[in-house]
Amino acid sequence: MALTYDHPGEQTAQDPIRLLDIRDTPLSVDEVFRAVGDEAAGGTTLFVGAVRDHDGGQDVDGLGYSCHPSAPEELRRVAEKVVADFPVRALAAVHRVGELRVGDLAVVVAVSCPHRAEAFAACRKLIDDLKHEVPIWKHQRFSDGTEEWVGAC
């Protein structure tokens, strides 16, 4: 059954991209959640990515994120594509760069849509495309003294 959008609340908001940033300061889940508040949204999905204590069978001591100068523009392009493909009321995405410790937040994204299924799908598309297309690189340091670079794109 196809959804019809016969109410203004079902349509994409005028300016649904509310917050996009790449920053070297700690991220706030509350800030991102507040940014996507919208009275016409029936569903809001939030994804939080944190530094975990292991990867690939190795203990992680910490990591650093760095990005290409084009990363903010690429993040905007990814967000605009999500807005074009889904009935997004509000969207926000922030990614951290710099040195992070285990437990620190690395990325927080959120999307509000008229319905929950759309919000889940749009948020998944946003985080997946951000990780695959925005030029942000992760430099992991393991407890055995080895390290590894992981490219986002």
Least confident of 1-5, 51-55, 67-71, 92-96: 1-5
Mean pLDDT of 43-49: 98
C-alpha dihedral, 98 to 121 to 37 to 77, nearest 10°: 50
Indicate whether 84 pLDDT > 80.
yes
| E-state strands within 37-119 | 43-50, 54-55, 58-67, 90-96, 98-101, 105-113
Indicate whether 17 pLDDT > 80.
yes
Grade residue 1 by pLDDT with cuts at 50, 70 and 90.
very low
Mean pLDDT of 19-48: 98
Percentage of the chain beyond pLDDT 90 is 88
Mean pLDDT of 12-16: 75
Q: Report helix, strand or coil for 2.
A: coil
pLDDT tens digit sequence for 88-135: 999 999 999 999 999 999 999 999 999 999 999 999 999 999 999 999
What pLDDT is attached to residue 96?
98
93, 19 in Cβ contact below 8 A? yes
* pTM, rounded to two decimals: 0.90
Question: In the predicted model, what is the mean pLDDT of the chain?
Answer: 93
